Structure 1
Amino acid sequence: MIDDLDRRIIDQLRVDGRSSFAEIGRTVGLSEASVRARYQRLQRKGVLQVVGMTDAVRMGEMEVHLAVRVHHIPVALVAHELSRMPDVRYVASCVGPYDLIVDVRCRDLEHLAELLTERVRRVNGVAHAEALTVLEVIKDSYLWEGFREVPVRPGKRIIPG
């Protein structure tokens, strides 16, 4: 179980995943050793993973969300098969008109067409796959609701949202 201090540590890492344990400790009111111990516990439990993230549009790639309907086969089997594809970055089962939401990165329209027609739509159980292409990311928040204290580094400007 994670507590409020764990959430505050995670939020500091969401703002800047390269922050030192000492910096985070000063912000959340804990020692460097306490932050390190909590970080390691959260990592061991699989709650936390610090990674670099790229902006597909700025990299000249396409970010596409696929809405997938599955028929005559368990959704979990289709999800597993889609998860094995290297271009697939995210797979989630959902409730509503679609069974799965799948996020993919493509080089261009030709790559997207090949991915949809030659791979995704040929997976056993995929009855329908609808592509929603991201034109621009307006907001992409990884902070816990209620998080207020975003540290401002010298030379950086944070615009309230």
Structure 2
Amino acid sequence: MLDDLDRGLIHALHLDGRAPFSRIAAVLGVSAQTIARRYARLRTEASLRVVGLTDPHQAGRTQWLVRLTATARSAQDLAHSLVRRPDTSWVKLASGGTEIVAVIHAPTDASGANSLLLHDIPRTGGITAVSAHCLLHMYLGGPTNWRRSADALDAEQSRVLREAAGSGSGVVPRQPGPADAELLAALEKDGRVGQGELARVTGWSPATVARRLAELRAGGALFFDVEVDAGLFGVNTRALLWMSVRPADLDRVATALSGHDELAFVAATTGPTNLVAQALCRDPADLHRYLTHRLGSLTAVHTLETSPVLRNLKAASPSLTGLPPRVDRRERGRG
């Protein structure tokens, strides 16, 4: 399990994924060398990873939550074919290993061959059902942290880190464009990569790199996600919750759910179930208590389907860099 310093470091990275170790160390009252050592250990032992991600709307992308049901023999191959695609994230095996759930990022204008969400899926008779749900609005997830992985710092410590992260006064926000492709690709692989390396891969000066980063972050076009093994926070049971809510109640219910500590992701979608969430609980009994008490108290939820998540094969970043060939248990607390 994590100690207080580990939790403080992870919380600090949630607030500012590129914060210098010296700043985090000053907030936590230890040396920069200690923070650097802890960060290296957590990368090895807890699958800790900071990734830079673009806001899909500002980047001209639509996110689709795709569910594939397959025979047990075909499910593993189908899942790993989705893992290998550069336009996917949050690939999961669920429901006893016969269901694959993934987020596919597609151009919003739906132009070109990539508009076919399920291209490059192996041709097999093992697929028994397919559904695709467009993510209409995210209430919890993305740049919003799962509370239980970001509850170690007090208000003053959080204020210092937030102010430093947003200290680019006078910076004009900008949306990502074609010229930013190399910069964003490098941050997708490692959100903490140094500015010297970013200057090398982009061909820009370090000053230009710093300015572009500040401009993209200022408008929310670029944010930094923290992936970490949720099992180290006591999570042993994960489940996707597919809910049907009357449209007039949807915003109210989703807003209420986004305040539940047990949930790491809440989004409105298209489809017969119009609200999806991910629950991270200690064990099956803890999940049962959540479903029957907290979620059960919301009478506007008319139907509920619970899909236990067995494995996370791919996390938030579409990049394959750093992912082991088979199973990756990383959870940032969303998706």
TM-score normalised by the chain length of structure 1: 0.79
Q: How many angstroms apart in 1 are the aligned matches of 2:197 and 2:289?
A: 46
Pair 112,157 (structure 1): closer, same or farther in 2 beyond 3 Å: closer
Structure 1 position 38, deviation (Å):
1.3
Q: Alignment partner of 2:271: what SS? A: coil
Pair 130,157 (structure 1): closer, same or farther in 2 beyond 3 Å: closer
Task: Name the residue aligned to 2:182.
Answer: 8
Structure 1 position 121, deviation (Å):
2.4
Task: Name the residue aligned to 1:65.
Answer: 240
The count of corresponding residues between Structure 1 and Structure 2 is 150
Structure 1, 48-57 or 105-114: larger mean CA deviation:
48-57
Task: Name the residue aligned to 2:200.
Answer: 26
Task: State the Cα RMSD in Å.
Answer: 2.6
Structure 1 position 28, deviation (Å):
2.2
Q: How many angstroms apart in 1 are the aligned matches of 2:247 and 2:323?
A: 52
Given candidates 264, 274, 296, the residue that maps to 1:89 is: 264
Identical counterparts, % of pairs: 27
Given candidates 45, 49, 71, the residue that maps to 2:219 is: 45
Q: Work out whether residues 258 and 265 of structure 2, in 8 Å CA contact, stay in contact via their aligned partners in 1.
A: yes
Q: Alignment partner of 2:305: what SS? A: strand
Given candidates 285, 288, 293, the residue that maps to 1:110 is: 285
Q: How many angstroms apart in 2 are the aligned matches of 1:125 and 1:119?
A: 13
Q: Alignment partner of 1:93: what SS? A: strand
Structure 1, 69-78 or 37-46: larger mean CA deviation:
69-78
Tell me which amino acid in the other structure corresponds to 1:101: V
Q: Work out whether residues 121 and 127 of structure 1, in 8 Å CA contact, stay in contact via their aligned partners in 2.
A: no
Structure 1 position 29, deviation (Å):
2.0
Q: Which runs of 4+ in 1 moved over 4 A?
A: 57-60, 156-159
Task: Name the residue aligned to 1:119.
Answer: 294
Matched, 1:138 2:313: yes
Structure 1 position 141, deviation (Å):
5.6
Q: Deviations over 1:117-158 (max 9, x none)?
A: 1111212411122221211122336237xxx9x6xxxxx898
Q: Work out whether residues 11 and 143 of structure 1, in 8 Å CA contact, stay in contact via their aligned partners in 2.
A: no
Q: Structure 2 regions of 5+ residues with no counterpart? A: 1-174, 326-335
Given candidates 227, 236, 251, the residue that maps to 1:76 is: 251
Q: How many angstroms apart in 1 are the aligned matches of 2:229 and 2:323?
A: 19
Pair 92,22 (structure 1): closer, same or farther in 2 beyond 3 Å: same
Pair 90,20 (structure 1): closer, same or farther in 2 beyond 3 Å: same
Q: How many angstroms apart in 1 are the aligned matches of 2:220 and 2:236?
A: 29
TM-score normalised by the chain length of structure 2: 0.41
Structure 1, 75-84 or 16-25: larger mean CA deviation:
16-25
